[in-house]
Structure 1
């Protein structure tokens, strides 16, 4: 039986700014946050009538056609922003997923969050920090690699950003016995950097990443993993 308390999600797509291939990825991402009740794609006639038509029809999105009343003016962005606020005030959705890489939507994200909504962005690598940081969490879409690129797999150089150690130190101040839960640490990292993921630093997961830090120690207790500063653990011995 479905959970009637799950959040209602609105997925609003800036079709003029991205490609149809991103759409299925966006729907997979937001499935974890609730039930998608609003699906709309915004763009001008050239965009919606050509490359986006098949994707919007197949995935049951409502196309929102916006004509350009003057050359160089993008009316689709304004329509998307107004519809998002209307959905909020009419209580149609509590959670928003904006599919775009356009930093013009940063202010919309901030206003939605001020009203208590959760806002997620699905965008491409080109997405500016201004938009990434205006969301609760940013998800970067990676286009499928061509066969020639797959034949030469690339490896991300492993890095150990100091921000992770600083986060453990900060959270440990309010934690029992100075141990920080792995889930709480991951949540904090995403709140301070909505685009944070261990994969961008060359790791398959947060636990693997933490275990490479000489400043940190981990333990498993009751099926959960915990993290502590090594210097504190040594003082307790």
Structure 2
């Protein structure tokens, strides 16, 4: 996660899951991720519970107090789940029972819904696969890729198994086509003060503005600080202790 992004613990969130486009094995990680940004007061999952492909969800529902919402498939090839979730979301929006929403799906059909929620001044978070259309990702304040969820231990072991300095992890992600440097440079430029340094917290804010799907975990790092450390030839880091709290500053090397 971006360790500097504002996490409103008092925010009330409605979690709405498209059962046709989500994995039951990740429900624990999804709840934990959404819980970082507020209190989940509404938990619903939508799908046709008469079909076998929804069977894997049943245990997860009972264990995590998620309310199933039945939506029959009236036409072959059409996903009625989308409509049911959207209608419920608008009802919740107008009820003012929550301060934000989390939509769990990789379906671009929710793009307009996410946009409408933001227009109303509500926080909107998305969770889906990395293949999720960019339009839906950018319609959210925050978008978390499911590939970045799951057991942390396995990912840490894999990074250690590769060996080498921390820079090697960054080089490998860049070779796979995930180069964070242009985005990092742009965010640092936007956050830089007159003295040439930028607060890490401000950089984190601009990173989410530039790309709601930005996440250090995509590049193999748990925190934004670690990602910047992976590029010692590009960035300088400065650490200051203020009242027991460590503040981090970043600048682009000349």
Q: Tell whether the structures are fold-level matches, with TM greater than 0.5.
A: yes
Deviation by residue 1:1-58 (Cα, 9 ceiling, x = unmatched): xxxx811110000001222112211100111111111010100121586222221122
| Distance change in 2, residues 1:134/1:195 (3 Å) | same
| Distance change in 2, residues 1:144/1:115 (3 Å) | closer
Structure 1 residue 11 corresponds to structure 2 residue 40: no
The 2-side partners of 1:14 and 1:138 are apart by: 15
- Indicate if the aligned counterparts of 1:15 and 1:48 stay in contact, CA closer than 8 A: no
Higher relative contact order (CA 8 A, sep 6+): 2
- Indicate if the aligned counterparts of 1:40 and 1:63 stay in contact, CA closer than 8 A: yes
Using the TM superposition, give the Cα deviation of residue 199 of structure 1 relative to its aligned residue in structure 2, in angstroms. 2.8
Unaligned runs of 5+ in 1: 232-237
1:68-83 matched pairs, under 5 angstroms:
68-83=73-88
1:162-173 matched pairs, under 5 angstroms:
162-172=182-192
The 1-side partners of 2:40 and 2:72 are apart by: 27
Residue 234 (structure 1) aligns with: none
Residue 251 (structure 2) aligns with: 228
Residue 235 (structure 1) aligns with: none
Residue 195 (structure 1) aligns with: 213
1:93-172 matched pairs, under 5 angstroms:
93-142=98-147, 153=158, 157-159=172-174, 161-172=181-192
Higher helix share: 2
Q: Rg: which structure is higher?
A: 1
Using the TM superposition, give the Cα deviation of residue 213 of structure 1 relative to its aligned residue in structure 2, in angstroms. 4.4
Using the TM superposition, give the Cα deviation of residue 210 of structure 1 relative to its aligned residue in structure 2, in angstroms. 2.0
| Distance change in 2, residues 1:177/1:49 (3 Å) | closer
| Distance change in 2, residues 1:23/1:203 (3 Å) | closer
Using the TM superposition, give the Cα deviation of residue 74 of structure 1 relative to its aligned residue in structure 2, in angstroms. 1.8
TM-score by length of structure 1 reads: 0.83
Structure 1 residue 34 corresponds to structure 2 residue 38: yes
TM-score by length of structure 2 reads: 0.78
Residue 60 (structure 2) aligns with: 55
The alignment of Structure 1 onto Structure 2 pairs a total of residues equal to 221
Unaligned runs of 5+ in 2: 1-8, 163-168, 175-179
The 2-side partners of 1:88 and 1:37 are apart by: 13
